């Protein structure tokens, strides 16, 4: 009985680990949980049979329809990388421009580094980002109406979409939940995706901010494609596949250092 309880507890812990990281390799999980790769493979096979994860060669990932990790947890995932990405992306924002920043933990880091800019008009669909930037000198902040999602302060709904559509911004800074191997940009919430698509359509240039763990993760809703981006700002662990994809699509790549 004790072994069964330990097995269930470990499988639940594996699920929590995947909710924080999106995907994981068998060898890494075995090291993390201090057990054998054979034991982890058995756990993953059971979770896959239960429809809770998707197996791939050498590891597993969350299913595309899995609920997105909570905002506070996402803030802690790749925290150092997100701070570096936010700082590097802020350096790409010119003064005296109209910009749109969508809700997200990495875009929030960018927003915190706009304090030395001047003449910025910022539109954001995040009450948290609006609150962080409202007191910055030289920054004027506008937010749409709509439903505020309690978990992370994102503003959702058709009124938010219509508000965004009124603008022709010089630059948008966006994030996403996942970047598919073919360059599709993915998210979990259909309403949030609608706002993100409006942001892409309303901006002359777009910067994507995403830490390297987002590559080949899973999410069910497409918000756009990497080829729509002027630049991807990510961390130095960016995999070769993603670097090559940016090169083939003519997308600029900035590795935050």
Of the candidates 191, 199, 26, 10, which has an alpha carbon nearest to the alpha carbon of residue 107?
A: 199
Q: Encoding tokens for residue 217?
A: 């993760």
Q: Are 129 and 109 in contact (CB under 8 A)?
A: no
pLDDT at 1 over 50: no
pLDDT, mean of residues 119-140: 95
Q: Is the pLDDT of residue 49 over 70?
A: yes
Say how far apart CA 252 and CA 120 lie, in whole Å.
Answer: 23
Cβ atoms of 232 and 251 within 8 Å: the answer is: yes
Candidates 90, 247, 85, 113; CA nearest to 171 is 90
**In this predicted model, what pLDDT tens digit does every residue of 90-108 receive, in sequence order?**
999 999 999 999 999 999 9
| pLDDT value of position 29 | 94
**C-alpha span between 126 and 108 (Å, rounded):** 9
- The residue-averaged pLDDT of 117-140 equals 95
pTM of the predicted protein model: 0.77
Q: Can you tell me the distance from the alpha carbon of 250 to that of 125, in angstroms, rounded to the nearest whole number?
A: 28
Answer whether residue 195 shows pLDDT above 90: yes
Q: Residue 229: its pLDDT value, please?
A: 98
C-alpha dist (Å) from residue 244 to 18, 144, 178, 180, 194: 26, 37, 17, 13, 28
> Average pLDDT in the 80-98 region?
95
Say what the pLDDT of residue 126 is.
97
């Amino acid at each position: 009985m004790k072994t069964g309880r330990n097995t269930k507890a470990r499988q639940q812990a594996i699920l929590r680990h995947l909710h924080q990281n999106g995907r994981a390799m068998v060898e890494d999980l075995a090291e993390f949980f201090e057990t054998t790769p054979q034991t982890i493979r058995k756990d993953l096979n059971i979770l896959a049979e239960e429809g809770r994860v998707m197996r791939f060669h050498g590891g597993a990932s969350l299913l595309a329809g899995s609920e997105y990790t909570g905002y506070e947890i996402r803030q802690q995932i790749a925290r150092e990388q997100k701070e570096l990405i936010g700082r590097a992306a802020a350096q790409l924002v010119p003064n005296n421009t109209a910009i749109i920043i969508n809700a997200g933990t990495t875009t929030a880091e960018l927003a915190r580094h706009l304090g030395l800019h001047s003449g910025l008009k910022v539109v954001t669909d995040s009450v948290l980002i609006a609150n962080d930037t409202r007191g910055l000198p030289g920054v004027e902040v506008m937010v749409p109406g709509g439903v505020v999602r309690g978990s992370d302060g994102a503003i959702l709904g058709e009124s938010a979409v219509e508000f965004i559509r009124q603008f022709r911004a010089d630059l948008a800074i966006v994030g996403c939940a996942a970047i598919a191997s073919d360059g599709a940009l993915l998210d979990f919430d259909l309403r949030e995706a609608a706002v993100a698509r409006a942001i892409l359509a309303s901006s002359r240039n777009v910067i994507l901010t995403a830490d390297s763990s987002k590559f080949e993760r899973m999410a069910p809703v497409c918000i756009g494609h990497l080829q729509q981006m002027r630049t991807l700002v990510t961390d130095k662990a960016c995999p070769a596949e993603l670097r090559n994809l940016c090169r083939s699509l003519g997308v600029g790549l900035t590795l935050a250092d």
